[in-house]
Structure 1
Amino acid sequence: MSQPVPVNRPRLLNVKQVQDLSPHLRRVCLTGPDLADYPFTCGGAHIKIMLPQPGQAHAVLPTPTPQGPRWEDPSQRPIMRTFTIRAFRPEVLELDIDFALHGETGPASRFALNVKPGDRLAISGPGGPNPMLQRADHYYMVGDLTSLPAICAMAEVMAPQAKGHIALLVPHEQDILDIPLPAGVELRWFVGTPEQTEPLVSHLTSQPMTGDNSYFWFGGEEGLVVPMRRHVRRTLEVDRSRVYAVPYWRHGKDEEAYHHDRHDVMDS
């Protein structure tokens, strides 16, 4: 008797549309009948995109096993990168992923720079907190282009009466987007490189913050996340359960090279 197909299995999808949101942010809309039972949790959920090895037409999907996904030939294992779901429209079987563009230096950015309708991309099922945005009266958020899709998705589900502060770092003024927010949530944009985080951190840490019924969400380059987490955990003494602080990347390292360092940073 055949085993049931796991609902959280990887899926190989088709690129339906490509849209430039700014000079350094590109949206890729994926579609396919395999999205009919996709176990969507929330906007901003973590996923793995699976990119083909050189010479492959598309990524080789694993065989699901009780111990997790397994490739018959480990050398065929695809290149994986972590992204977030920007939006999912189950009624039309569409899923959006926003890619930060930083040249041909990395496989994900290279894919996004060259992608066109009809190409194929494999993705995993969703992971991470569910919901990504905890219920709160006050929100304090920090991010960059890599975490902007998650922040935009969370902004869509904020209560109209929410209050708070969001600070975002982008590489160019043309990367500043119009993000609808509740009237009580202030958004401040900063333009600069990953090394130029100090003005943003100083701005947000100078704001009057309350730990009562608040949620703190920090994602992006390590230089943004670590000082903000230190401020709210050590200075404001906010409980760990009210803080999401995940360094997505470190300037100068790819995801694979940063993997172990990232966990050390998060555990410190």
Structure 2
Amino acid sequence: MTLPVSYVEVVAVDRITPRTARITFEADELADTVGGTPDQQLKLCFPRPGQREPLLAAPQDDPMGWYHAHLAIPEAERPVLRSFTLRRRHPGTRRIDIDFVLHGDTGPAAAWALRAAPGDRLGMVGPSELYAPAVPFSGDRKDVDWLLLAGDETALPAIATLLEALPEGERAYLWIEVADRAERQELVSPAELEVRWLYRDGAAPGSLLAEEFRDTVLPGGEPLVWLAGEAGAVRAMRRCLIECEGVPKENIDFTGYWRHRLTQDDAPTAEDLADARERPAGNS
């Protein structure tokens, strides 16, 4: 299966909250399957200083072969990769929306998004069926009684697509931690939702979610759980669900989207490697 590789160009920038920019891109190429399912993951390739667009390795049938070709590009010219969730595909077009959390000028993605303007170009790797979520969040799920989705603002794009795909009448609980009340976003779903917004208001990222899981009694029955956000907070939530609530490990889909004081360029910690071994096969 070929890993899709394409250039994308900014056509619009919309500040949907004070700290979130929704950027619309036109892709040079886009498979028909893109946008057809929720929680589609991709990587954006950011140019190095002085480049108008990033230098991309050619598409290959072997994803690892593509990544090795990417690493073979001289470091001064090699694009910086960052992971994102596809928020939306505009029907009948090659246009897609991707949300950027604006957390200052410290990281390459946020710094780029602060200045993004129509005509700017990035590279895009994926979305690919190779990295589809392992736990299904659409269709018939008679084996579970309710759903639980929890995460911080980096998880909101994925949560929104999962909610939009739920069937009518599904019961879903959401716990979402954001910087403050201004960061709330409208969530639309045919399902029956119960949403808790947790506002940090200066507290450490992930701290409110971890505390909420320790202090809350969950509904009875067997849940299907989706967790994403800061890796330490995700780890604490998952541990609480398994050890305190008795939720089976196989019922929990979890991803550490980012790490406090570390970037995607830093080596994985022992906890990161342990998490990777625990995640279901096929879950990226």
Q: Which residue of 2 aligns with 1:235?
A: 244
| Bigger mean CA deviation after superposition, 74-83 or 35-44 | 35-44
Q: Which residue of 1 aligns with 2:55?
A: 60
Alignment of 1:73-152 (within 5 A): 73-75=73-75, 76-126=77-127, 127-129=131-133, 133=137, 135=139, 136=141, 137-152=145-160
Q: Which residue of 2 aligns with 1:253?
A: 262
- Aligned residue-pair number: 262
> Which runs of 5 or more residues in structure 2 are unaligned?
279-284
Contact 2:152/2:206 (CA < 8 Å) preserved in 1?
no
SS at match of 1:111: helix
Distance across 2 between alignment mates of 1:179 and 1:264: 33
The 1:132–1:195 alpha-carbon spacing in structure 2 relative to 1, beyond 3 Å, is farther
Distance across 1 between alignment mates of 2:104 and 2:47: 18
Q: Which residue of 1 aligns with 2:235?
A: 226
**How far 1:22 moved relative to its partner?**
0.1
| Bigger mean CA deviation after superposition, 70-79 or 129-138 | 129-138
Contact 2:151/2:209 (CA < 8 Å) preserved in 1?
no
Q: Which residue of 2 aligns with 1:189?
A: 197
TM-score (norm 2): 0.82
| Bigger mean CA deviation after superposition, 12-21 or 198-207 | 198-207
Q: Percent identity?
A: 28
The correspondence for 2:217, drawn from 207, 225, 229, is 207
Distance across 2 between alignment mates of 1:197 and 1:30: 30
| Bigger mean CA deviation after superposition, 100-109 or 176-185 | 176-185
> What RMSD in Å do the two structures reach over aligned CA positions?
2.5
| Bigger mean CA deviation after superposition, 138-147 or 235-244 | 235-244
> Which runs of 5 or more residues in structure 1 are unaligned?
1-5
SS at match of 2:265: helix
Distance across 1 between alignment mates of 2:99 and 2:193: 23
Distance across 2 between alignment mates of 1:52 and 1:68: 21
User: Aligned letter for 1:13?
Assistant: V
